[in-house]
Each structure stands twice: as C-alpha cells, then as structure tokens.
Amino acid sequence: MNITAKSTSLADLVVGATCKISSVELKGLLRRRVMDLGMVPGTPVQCIRKSPSGDPIAFGVRNTTVALRSDDASMIKVYPYIVYGGESV
C-alpha cells in the first residue's frame, strides 16, 4: 500500500477505509483527550461505522474503538491509504 499526498479529514472517510493521521487540529481539552486515546500523527486509523445520520462516527485506533462527533472528526486531518492501481480503500 502507498499513502496519497492529498490530505482529507476523518469525517470524510467511508466505512472500511484506512488512513494515517497527519495532524490533530482540535483545541483544548478535547485535543488532549483524543491524543491520549492514541490519535497522534502517524497512527493508522480505520473507519468502522457511521450512524445513519452520520454523527457519531466510530474509528478503530490501536486495538480500540473511539467514537467522535463528525464536527470533531473533521478537525483531524489524515492521508488515506490507496491500493496499487489508484483505487482508494
């Protein structure tokens, strides 16, 4: 697998997609809590499930599941993985 150069946010991932965190742009206590849960730059993350309304979203991080509101997930920038051939997963 390769990593694309185009950055997006966790909120934009489709269910089943895997990515790598590039930056955490949250502020204050929420930033600290998210980083304490293991969401730091360079960490692989997978989108596990989205609720029907799209909020919250469940992510697999370091062998645990973390649910975030879509507004908060949009403040975490990621590089999605792609499969050889250009199709993203």
Residue 85: pLDDT over 80: no
Average pLDDT (77-83) is 78
> Using one digit for the tens of pLDDT, what is the confidence trace for 12-49?
999 999 999 999 999 999 999 999 999 999 999 999 99
Closest by Cα among 7, 65, 2 to 37: 65
pLDDT at residue 55, as a whole number: 87
Q: Given its phi and psi angles, is residue 70 left (phi above 0), alpha (psi -120 to 50 degrees) or beta? A: alpha
> Using one digit for the tens of pLDDT, what is the confidence trace for 58-74?
999 999 999 999 999 99
Is the overall model pTM greater than 0.85, yes or no? no
Q: For the chain, which domains are there?
A: 2-82 (2.30.30.90)
